[in-house]
Structure 1
Amino acid sequence: MFETIDLTTDARGVATLTLNRVDKHNAMSAQMLAELTQAAGQLAEDDAVRVVVLTGAGKSFCAGGDLAWMQAQMAADSQTRFVEARKLAEMLQALNTLPKPLIGALQGNAFGGGVGMASVCDIAIGVDTLKMGLTETRLGIIPATIGPYVISRMGEARARRVFMSARIFGAAEAVELGLLAKMVPAEELAAAVEAEVTPYLSCAPGAVAAAKQLTRELGPRIDDAVIDTTIQALVDRWETTEAVEGIGAFFDKRKPNWV
């Protein structure tokens, strides 16, 4: 059914949603965005699913947005750019509001949109060797559509340490920033995730869903107005000379003119 992700469910009702574009370090293409949104809808409707684990295949959890997809936006008109940015925003919100516990198992690096994916998880556990970074500003763009989720997870003060600088940081700092709940050696990741999964199997699924919904209602506001603001912010950046230069420089394998 899916080409860029895998979705399996065991006999206990534990679903595993795996990003599976190994050759692209699980960068999010338009197809992956659509498939993740579809999978989130299926998981939300499946009463047999009690818990969802989000992970990646290969060496990386998620390298962020697919640069070929972003390059295509540079040649598109504003309306097309808005539609494409909304696909990313809708996928993130579908996972963020999933009425099941969502546990991130970061087996490798997470950059850009990959940090956003970790931030929509109710808890994220990463291997102690991983690197993370909000790298968008290196390309002349901004972490816009992921912004509400990243800032909700970290808080504004901590987010401002890494949100604009594109600085790469390790697992220990990711724990300090609140992006990861804990870091573990790679060989202990499965056990650490299982320790988070198991308690939910003794909980009433409806109560878990209601409790999760309540936390969202009490937490920072992420509604249609906020999402539309972030989409417009991203579209506006795509239309700047900095974005053209930054993304062009990446594909030309050169430094952008501000370096």
Structure 2
Amino acid sequence: MIMATYQTLEIERAGRVATIWMNRPEVFNAFDEALIADLRDACIELDADVGVRVVVLGGRGRHFSAGADLNWMRRASGYSEAENLDDARRFSAMLRGLSEMSKPTIARVQGAALGGGTGLAAACDMAIAASDASFSTSEVKFGIIPAVISPYVLRAVGPRHALRLFQSAEKIDAQRALAIGLVGEVVAPDQLDAAVAKLAETLVGCAPQAQKAAKDLIAAINARPIDDAVSEETAQRIARRRATDEAKDGIAAFLEKRTPAWLR
């Protein structure tokens, strides 16, 4: 597969794990139009690559992402409403593309993850933070709101925590982020890569089509009442999955004490 060349990113591969490195350390990986476009295209490329089983999102340098580039914000402040809408739609499409990848995604967070940087971490399926990481939905300090990132932050922390974060713009540390569900694990900075690699290895060991089906299951069932419709839908989903070749091979491999096909 021919890999694209990106202006603001580096793609690093290690076996079946691909890491998207935001590569603007001189501005703390703040994003602008170019980085947004590159991230969207990289997600599409890696999602289509059958050799990639897990995607990690990280930032080069001291910080994960300081959010919106100030020069981008300055340009946007002069846009018409229609131009601002087009700009916001591109940002929204990038986050949705990251969130809806068919394979597991891990945010590798160190240093600052501010504004849209918090949104990027929340849009990934999982997040591991270094103990020096900090997070903030700081938009109200600039007279704007965290609208585009809100579905992903809400999904991670729930409305009660989001109400405080979105209105106070306060900065929280990694332990607070862990407590409210924004990240799933906090480790010492020098252990961050090892922790991400360990989780990625665990994910690679699982059935890829089942992982995609599990992700779809959560999207379909979350926040719905446990009623007859949900009970029937979940029964149908497991029945369909048991009938797949992947499931049949996985169960047989376990019983026969052999390696399943997806690990060969």
Q: Please state which band the TM-score falls in when normalised by the shorter chain.
A: 0.7 to 0.9
For residue 136 of structure 1, what is the aligned residue in structure 2? 139
For residue 7 of structure 1, what is the aligned residue in structure 2? 11
Q: 1:159 aligns with which of 149, 155, 162?
A: 162
- 1:163 is paired with a residue whose SS is helix
Distance 2:9 2:200 in 1: 21
Counting aligned pairs with the same residue, the percent is: 37
Task: Give the 4+ runs in structure 1 shifted more than 4 A.
Answer: none
Superposition CA RMSD, Å: 1.3
For residue 194 of structure 1, what is the aligned residue in structure 2? 197
Cα deviation, residue 218, structure 1: 2.2
Q: Which letter does structure 1 place at the counterpart of 2:8?
A: T
Q: Which letter does structure 2 place at the counterpart of 1:7?
A: I
Structure 1 residue runs of 5 or longer lacking an equivalent are: 222-259
Distance 2:37 2:182 in 1: 25
Q: Given that residues 97 and 213 in structure 1 are in contact (C-alpha distance below 8 angstroms), is that contact kept between their aligned partners in structure 2? A: no
Q: 2:207 aligns with which of 204, 207, 211?
A: 204
Cα deviation, residue 205, structure 1: 1.4
Higher relative contact order (CA 8 A, sep 6+): 1
Cα deviation, residue 220, structure 1: 5.8
Q: Deviations over 1:34-53 (max 9, x none)?
A: 00000000011111100011
Question: Highest Rg: 1 or 2?
Answer: 2
Q: Which letter does structure 1 place at the counterpart of 2:73?
A: M
Q: Which letter does structure 1 place at the counterpart of 2:11?
A: L
Q: Which letter does structure 1 place at the counterpart of 2:44?
A: G
Within the alignment, does 1:80 sit opposite 2:83 as a pair? yes
Q: Given that residues 175 and 181 in structure 1 are in contact (C-alpha distance below 8 angstroms), is that contact kept between their aligned partners in structure 2? A: yes
Q: Deviations over 1:169-208 (max 9, x none)?
A: 1111111111111111011111111221112222221111
Q: 1:40 aligns with which of 43, 47, 59?
A: 43
Within the alignment, does 1:66 sit opposite 2:69 as a pair? yes
After superposition, residues 1-259 of structure 1 pair within 5 angstroms as: 1-10=5-14, 12-219=15-222
Q: Given that residues 125 and 183 in structure 1 are in contact (C-alpha distance below 8 angstroms), is that contact kept between their aligned partners in structure 2? A: yes
Decide whether aligned partners of structure 1 residues 220 and 93 sit closer, same or farther in structure 2, where only a CA change above 3 A counts. farther
Distance 1:16 1:115 in 2: 18
The number of residues matched between the two structures is 220
Q: Given that residues 152 and 220 in structure 1 are in contact (C-alpha distance below 8 angstroms), is that contact kept between their aligned partners in structure 2? A: no
